[in-house]
Each structure stands twice: as C-alpha cells, then as structure tokens.
Structure 1
Amino acid sequence: MTDIFHEIEEDLRRDRLRRVWDRYGIVFIALVVLVIAGAAGYSGYKWWALQQDQASGARFEAAAHLAAEGKATDAEAAYVALSKDGTAGYRMLARFRAAAEIATTDKAKGAAAFDAIAADSSLSSLTRDLARVRAGLLLVDTAPLAEIQSRLQALADSQSALRFSAREILALAQYKAGDLAAANKAAALLLEEPEVPPGVRNRAELIRALTAAAAQINPAVGAAATQ
C-alpha cells in the first residue's frame, strides 16, 4: 500500500515538474544562453583590451626609443598620435611625454602643453597638479617671479600631495629673482615640514645654503635674508 502512495507522489511530482518546464523551460534555456554568451563576451573583451594595451605599450616604447636617439620631432609626433588613440593609461603618459619632448626645443611651448593638461577637467586633480608643477619648473628660469607665483601659489597653499614641489619652485623663483630674503624664508619653512619628500628637502637645504652664501657677499641683502 505504501508503494502505491509513493508511486502516486512520484507521478504527481513529475507532472508538476513537466508543467513548470512546459511553462518556463524556454526562459531557463534563454538565461543559460545569456550567461554563457555573457561569459564568452567578457572573455573576448578582456582579450581584446589586452591586445590594445600591448599595442599601445609597443608604440610608447618605440616613441621612447626615438627620444633616446635624439629624434625629438619624431618622438613628439609619435607621442601625440598615441595620446589621441592609445589606451587610457598610455594616452595620459603620452601627453606628458609629448609635452616634455616639445620642451626640449621650446620651453614656452612645452609649458603650454602642460598647461593644456592642467586645464583638462576630465583628469584627476593630482594629474593636473603634476602638469602645473612641470610647467612651472620649465618656466622658472625665464618667467617673471609674479608669473610663477600666479601659477603655483594656490597649489603651494593647498593640501595637494604636490604642494611641497610647488613651494620649492617658488623658493627657486624667488632666488633667481634676487629676492633672497623670501627664498631663504621659503626654504626654511620647507625644512620645518616633517612630510617634505627627501628630494625636495635636499634642494631646500641647497637654496638655504645659497641664500646664506649670497648674504655673506652682500651684507645689506644678508641682513634681510637671515631675519
């Protein structure tokens, strides 16, 4: 008797499953197909993206070889092309390298290329700050102190990771402009900062030493520089 009930239950269970399959089987099959297609598509995209990234890497390396060989114009053209159609990471690297190559023959144009990067609101703030620093560094030997200050003072006063580099360039600009007191003070303030990177600290010590040496040669300026 028990076996009969079991057989009836099995028949009912099979009948319910058959009705569920008849109603939703096509949906289940479609979902399985979509999952498989999605997995295949994702794998295909990853393969394609890797190929594109490797191709951009090869182009970047070729441009770097041109630069190393002293072919600045060819290197610049290669970097500019890569900055337009390379993969995301290489596009940004190429923009910086293109600006640097331009600067080897014309610092003002190189600075303008870095200014264009700094003005690109689609980029991260750190990337834009780095471009500002690079532009300021290119112009520190030739631009008036007021221009360097207008470019970098806001960055120097901010909490950006590159604020110390901006302060260093400002101190150097003050030194080159003959404002030894300001350069001495700016270098001293940098040396008081515990978070200043070692490279910046070393150069700040050099600026402090140079202003002190100049002060000994010119006592009138030295009195102001050491206040």
Structure 2
Amino acid sequence: MVDVFDEVEEQLRSERYKSIALRVLPIVGGVLIVALVAALAVWGYQHFRSQAAAEASEKYAQAIEAFNSGKRDDAIRLWGEVGQGSSKAYKSLALQHLGGLKLADNKTAEAVKLFDEAAEAAPNNIIGDAARLKSAFALLDTAPFKDMEARLTPLTEEGRPYRAEAREALAFSKLMAGDLAGARSDFAVIGLMADAGEAARQRAEAAKALIDSGSAKALPATVKAAMALPPPVQMAPGAVPPGLAPQAAPQPTAPGAQ
C-alpha cells in the first residue's frame, strides 16, 4: 500500500514539475530569443561599422592618391563620398580636406562650414579640435573677437590636445582686436607651456617684442587694409598689365647701318 501511495505522490510531483515547466519554458525561451537577437544585433552593428570603416579607409586613401597625382576633381568626389558615410573618423578627415580646398579657393564661409561639420562628426577631440582650430584660423582676420573667443577658449582647457595652438590663435585674435595687454599675457603663457613647440615659443617671443616696441598697434589696420585690396591680376607670360600700352618691338637694324 505504501508503494502505491509513493507512486501516486511521484506522479503528482511529476505533473507539478511538468506544469511549472510548461509555464516557465515560454518565458525562458522568450528571454533566450531576446538575448540572441540582441547579441546578433550587436555583432551585426560591429560588423557593419567595421565594414564601413574599411570602405571609408580605402576611398580616403584613393582620394589622397588622386590629389597627389593632380586629379583634384577625382579627389573631391571621393572625399565627398567619404564625407557622406557613417565612419566618423574618416568622415571628419574628408570634410577637413574639402574645407582646406575651399579655403585655398578663397571661399572662407564654405570652408568654415565644412570645418564645423567635421568637428561635429569627429569621434574624439584629437580629430575634432583639429577641425575647430582650422575653422578658427580661417576666421582669424575677419571674425569679431567675441566669436573667436567663443571658438578658441574651450580648446585652451587642460587636457585638450591642441591647447598651445589654440592659446596662440587666441593671442593673435586679441592682437587683432587691439587688446595688446591681453595678447602679451597669452604670448607669455605660451613661452612657459611645456606642450608648446619651439616654433610656437619663438613666435610668442617675436610677438612680445613687437608689442613692446609699439609696432603692434598698427597691425590690425595693416591687416584690414591688406584684406581690402583687390586680388592680384592673373596674367599670361609676356602679357601687359591693364592700362599699359604694349611697347613696340625693336626694329631690326639693316646690315651696315650705324
């Protein structure tokens, strides 16, 4: 009789376990499916990023090669494609190249726009601050000091990768704005900065000497006057500047003539 009760109890226990399992199994299965989907999504995203970075790297290298070979239009096209991609580092670098070309063409506003886009796209300050500095240097001669201060001051903070260069740009901005005391103070700081290069220290010393001599007072007006000058006229070899009559070619002398 005891065996019968034990068998019945075992069957009841088995039924309870089976019932619990039937209730829990779908939940566990759902959790496992979600975890698997999440793992696959992470793997897929990493694979996508890796593939996108590889493609961007290849196109970026092709653009560099094209530009160095004199194929400017091909380089612009390739950098433009990289600049539309999803690889943040190569996107930022490509936009900086395009900005540099615009700056070389005297299209400052377009260059600054590209540099600012490059800074926003950058994955870190090493790339991003380089773009921000390029944008600031492009505006150095024309932008109001408040704009330059807003752009450059964050770049001078401790830990930023180009703080010495940003401090130098800020000093020149103050010099352009007529703040000679503030500029001299910044140049003095640059001379003491451990991360400032030797060339930067030499420029700082030269700028301080210029300020101390009193010659720096005329610098803003000189730069503004130079910026207002018309661009130089491009002439073919042997051509005559506008407004000047070409000189008559010398006539050949007859043989025996004195």
Quickly name the TM-score band, shorter chain normalised.
0.5 to 0.7
**In structure 2, distance between residues paired with 1:27 and 1:182:** 68
Identity %: 22
**In structure 1, distance between residues paired with 2:21 and 2:214:** 98
**In structure 1, distance between residues paired with 2:55 and 2:82:** 10
Q: 1:69 to 1:45 in 2, by over 3 A?
A: same
Shift of 1:16: 0.7
Partners of 1:180 and 1:211 within 8 A in 2: no
Partners of 1:136 and 1:152 within 8 A in 2: yes
Gaps of 5+ in 1: 223-227
What is the CA deviation profile of residues 37-68 of structure 1, one whole-angstrom value per residue up to 9, with x for unaligned ones?
A: 44444434433332222222222222222233
The alignment partner of 2:84 has SS state of: helix
| Match of residue 136 from structure 2 | 136
What is the CA deviation profile of residues 177-217 of structure 1, one whole-angstrom value per residue up to 9, with x for unaligned ones?
A: 9998765443113224x5x5232xx234212432466589x
Establish whether residue 49 from structure 1 lines up as the match of residue 45 from structure 2: no
User: Looking at CA atoms only, which structure, 1 or 2, has the larger radius of gyration?
Assistant: 2
TM-score with structure 1 setting the length: 0.66
| Match of residue 94 from structure 2 | 94
**In structure 2, distance between residues paired with 1:43 and 1:173:** 48
After superposition, residues 75-86 of structure 1 pair within 5 angstroms as 75-86=75-86
TM-score with structure 2 setting the length: 0.60
| One-letter code aligned to 1:103 | L
Shift of 1:129: 5.2
Root-mean-square deviation (CA, aligned residues, Å) is 4.1
Structure with higher RCO (Cα < 8 A, 6+ apart):
1
After superposition, residues 56-135 of structure 1 pair within 5 angstroms as 56-106=56-106, 108=108, 109-115=110-116, 117=118, 126=125, 130-135=130-135
**In structure 1, distance between residues paired with 2:164 and 2:5:** 85
Partners of 2:92 and 2:122 within 8 A in 1: no
| One-letter code aligned to 2:150 | A
Gaps of 5+ in 2: 217-258
**In structure 2, distance between residues paired with 1:114 and 1:205:** 27
Establish whether residue 210 from structure 1 lines up as the match of residue 206 from structure 2: yes
| Match of residue 198 from structure 1 | 196
Partners of 1:172 and 1:183 within 8 A in 2: yes
The alignment partner of 1:198 has SS state of: coil
**In structure 1, distance between residues paired with 2:88 and 2:146:** 31
Q: 1:124 to 1:155 in 2, by over 3 A?
A: farther
Shift of 1:134: 0.7
| One-letter code aligned to 1:131 | A
Instruction: Select between 81-90 and 148-157 the one with higher mean Cα deviation.
Output: 148-157
Question: Which has the larger helix fraction?
Answer: 1
Shift of 1:168: 0.4
**In structure 2, distance between residues paired with 1:139 and 1:113:** 13
| One-letter code aligned to 2:203 | I
Q: 1:9 to 1:68 in 2, by over 3 A?
A: farther
The alignment partner of 1:85 has SS state of: coil
Establish whether residue 154 from structure 1 lines up as the match of residue 146 from structure 2: no
**In structure 2, distance between residues paired with 1:33 and 1:212:** 69
Establish whether residue 20 from structure 1 lines up as the match of residue 16 from structure 2: no
